[in-house]
Amino acid sequence: MADTAGSRARNRYTVEQRRAEILNATRDVVLRLGFGGTRVRDVADELGVSNGLIHYHFASKDELLAETLRFAANDDIARLEEAVDTARPALERFDRMLRNYLPGPGDVSWRLWIDAWGEALRNENLKEISQELDEAWVALLERVIRDGVHEGAFTCENPRASAWRIAALMDGLGLQVVLHRSTMSRTQMLEHARTLAAIELGLERKAFPARR
């Protein structure tokens, strides 16, 4: 009675495991085909299960896509927070955020976000989720700046405004790199981000590490 679901979990999937597995697969499919281009069938095929199973766990395709976005968002934020929590001093912590947030070689989640922005124009669920992630990200950036100021590593008059500017710059840069790779390299992108950051935090440009 204490754990009715758990007792079945030994050799079978629980509902929660299955849902997570489906969300995971959906993310992969959406990365290939986009929100608009993803069919329920594609997700089923990805897992080698039946079409009907997806509808068994998710009431509609819309719900599936919205939950997939939230799932991916939580992942991204968790990854960033982890990067922040483990690094010091302040400058390394900050730079690690930049490197983690900006799109990297194997990075795919940017594609998801760019796609989600477009979809969010017409879908309230997605709009809400993308806004949540955005605010969480700016808040994290602001926190790292404030901590740095506290430690005496940075000088910054208005951490909130600086965080917004840096976040906006990085969104714009990431967009360029992911969408039109030819126009800008990751190196240049990092260079731009660090240049603005140095200005905003009252540092010398060369204070930043050369790491990519």
Partner DNA sequence: TCCGTTACTGACTCTCGAGTCAGTAACGCT
Partner DNA sequence: AGCGTTACTGACTCGAGAGTCAGTAACGGA
Binding-site ranges for a second copy (CB under 8 A): 33-37, 111, 114-122, 127, 130-131, 134-135, 161, 164-165, 167-173, 175-176, 178-180, 182-184, 188, 191-192, 195-196, 199
Q: Is 108 in the site for DNA (CB under 7 A)?
A: no
Q: Is 61 in the site for DNA (CB under 7 A)?
A: yes
Cα torsion 182, 168, 141, 158: sign: positive
> What angle in degrees, to the nearest 10, is found between the helix axes of 61-86 and 124-150?
10
Q: Is 105 in the site for DNA (CB under 7 A)?
A: no
The interface partner of residue 149, options being DNA, a second copy, none and the CB cut-off 5 to 8 Å by kind, is none
Answer for which of 31, 53, 149, 184 binds DNA (CB under 7 A) is 53
The interface partner of residue 184, options being DNA, a second copy, none and the CB cut-off 5 to 8 Å by kind, is a second copy
Query: Cβ 116 to DNA, closest distance in Å?
Result: 17
CA 209 to chain CA mean position, Å: 23
Among positions 8-27, residues that touch DNA (CB under 7 A) are 8, 10-15, 18
Q: Is 188 in the site for DNA (CB under 7 A)?
A: no
Distances (CA, A) of 48 to 41, 65, 90: 10, 19, 46
Is 142 in contact with 159 (CB distance < 8 Å)?
yes
Residue (of 87, 21, 28, 27) closest to 54 by Cα position? 21
CA torsion 70→34→32→26, rounded to 10°? 40
Residues that bind DNA (CB under 7 A): 4, 7-8, 10-15, 18, 38-41, 49-53, 55-57, 60-62
